[in-house]
A = this chain, B = another copy of it.
Amino acid sequence: MTAPLRGLLSCDPAVATSGVTLLADALRAQAVPVTETQWQPPLDGTLEPLTRVMADRRRSEANALALQRMTSSGAELVDVRPASEALGLERGTFLHAGPPIEWDRASGPLRGALVGAMLFEGMAQTPEAAEAVLARGGVVLEPCHHRGGVGPMAGVVSPSMWVYELRDEVYGHTSWCSLNEGLGRVLRYGAFGPAVIERLHWMSSVLGPLLQQAVRSGGPFDIKALVAQMLQMGDEGHNRNRAGSLLLLRDLLPPLIAADGTAGDIAQVVRFCGANEHFFLNVGMPACKLSTLAAEGIPGSSVVTTMARNGTDFGIRTAGTGDRWFTGPANTPEGLFLGDFGPGDANPDIGDSAITETAGIGGFAMAAAPAIVRFVGGDVRQALRATQTMYEITVGEHTAYQVPILEFRGTPTGIDVAAVARTGILPQINTGMAGRVAGTGQVGAGLVTPPVQCFTAALQALAAAAEG
């Protein structure tokens, strides 16, 4: 009897377990030491498509290429222009965050921002009149992503709004994003009161033109380099942009103060930008978009190229499946609330800002920004663990974006749909929270994950296209 067991029972057993904890618990109750591995079974119902995707002979090389392109792409701020010029955006077309959606399914903050854009463009005189036009389908709604751009929160862009224009000279792409309005009651969080509209007019008549002069005379500015620096200065680039905003301000100021404008206007622009801790976000996001644009259209790659939310649906796209969206109902973030707001006030997840996580920063770089837990909740260990866990579902490490506290390890980059399905680990996103009632504004900031459906649906599509 002993020979087949090879002495297994002649010494103390060494037990390693995986999956459900029943066996480990039972052994521990008998004082047997157990090493538990973190292995979990794949997501429900994914075994068959997962096997096909993992066996796709193109996958390994395709994913390596996606990562290589994402990390080697450039991102320079080259211009500031009205959306009508930069994108050829036509009167009557409004862009928005996330996958495609129509008015009847739009959430409060998206509706509020669309009403505000109607008022700002002079297409309606009252919120009620604006709503009536929107409700009868009197305007065209289109995702920012369909035009190569990104918008934070509601992400509503109308032709008269000014946008940052960023350029990737390595792969020849252009991206853009609206100008940041500051915090609190602002259009992107769904507010549309008179102060919001007045600020938008000031941004189009004063802020935009002065920033344009500064960028045209002082630029181009290397935004990728600033992202690399801000990660060494306690920012993660999604919900914490303090250092990035100061770095951008430092670059813009010398040409800005030499711009052709009144001293009063220039001083107001300096104060407006200097007072905004998220000033950087609106150049960081299109920099991330350029990174993911570089990875689009690689057959066989299971790397995620878009994660975006419209406040109702969460949508993803992958390098191997082109322009097709895979959507599921957006989750509601959990975190910390401003003032008297509470969980009941929060809208489901909204905005294109998850482009940061898609490109390897934001929630994926939380270890670089331990102080962020004061804004989004949790403790410092969770911030470290968030980044460390994301290595499980990404193809590799960013070559330019590093986390000092992890001995300068590159951030986890290139979310692999197959790895998400195999481990059940969902991407960690940290985000602002909009009030669910149109007109409210920001109510807090917190953490959220995409719905699992996005990944199972994308996996099915990748499996259908797999080459054995």
- Give A234's nearest chain B residue, CB to CB: B233
- Give A369's nearest chain B residue, CB to CB: B404
Q: Please state if B267 and A258 are interface contacts (CB–CB under 8 Å).
A: yes
- Give A271's nearest chain B residue, CB to CB: B254
Determine the chain B residues whose CB is within 8 A of the CB of A373 once the complex forms.
Answer: 404
Determine the chain B residues whose CB is within 8 A of the CB of A263 once the complex forms.
Answer: 257-258
Give complex CA distance A371, B408 in Å. 8
Q: Please state if B246 and A247 are interface contacts (CB–CB under 8 Å).
A: yes
Give complex CA distance A232, B246 in Å. 14
- Give A402's nearest chain B residue, CB to CB: B371
Chain A contact residues: helix, strand, loop or mixed: helix
Q: Please state if B232 and A253 are interface contacts (CB–CB under 8 Å).
A: no
- Give A246's nearest chain B residue, CB to CB: B246
Determine the chain B residues whose CB is within 8 A of the CB of A381 once the complex forms.
Answer: 407
Partner among B250, B267, B370 whose Cβ is within 8 Å of the Cβ of A405:
B370
- Knowing A233-B233, A233-B234, A405-B405 touch, does A257 contact B246 (C-beta < 8 A)? no
> Binary interface profile of A, 137-174, with partner B (CB < 8 Å = 1, else 0)?
00000000000000000000000000000000000000
Q: Count A-side interface residues using an 8 Å CB cutoff.
A: 33
Determine the chain B residues whose CB is within 8 A of the CB of A266 once the complex forms.
Answer: 257
A124 on the B face (CB < 8 A):
no
Residues 229-259 (chain A) with a chain B CB within 8 angstroms? 229, 232-235, 242-243, 246-247, 249-250, 253-254, 257-258
A127 on the B face (CB < 8 A):
no
Most chain B CB within a 10 A radius of its CB, from A247, A258, A266, A271:
A258
A457 on the B face (CB < 8 A):
no
A102 on the B face (CB < 8 A):
no
> Binary interface profile of A, 202-243, with partner B (CB < 8 Å = 1, else 0)?
000000000000000000000000000100111100000011
- Knowing A233-B233, A243-B243 touch, does A257 contact B254 (C-beta < 8 A)? no
- Give A264's nearest chain B residue, CB to CB: B258
Other A-B contacts than A242-B243, A246-B247, A254-B274, 8 sampled, CB-CB below 8 A, are: A232-B371, A233-B233, A233-B235, A233-B243, A234-B234, A243-B246, A249-B249, A405-B405
Give 19 CB contacts A-B under 8 Å.
A233-B234, A233-B235, A233-B242, A234-B404, A242-B243, A246-B247, A246-B249, A246-B250, A249-B250, A253-B253, A254-B267, A254-B270, A258-B267, A370-B405, A371-B408, A379-B407, A380-B404, A380-B408, A381-B407
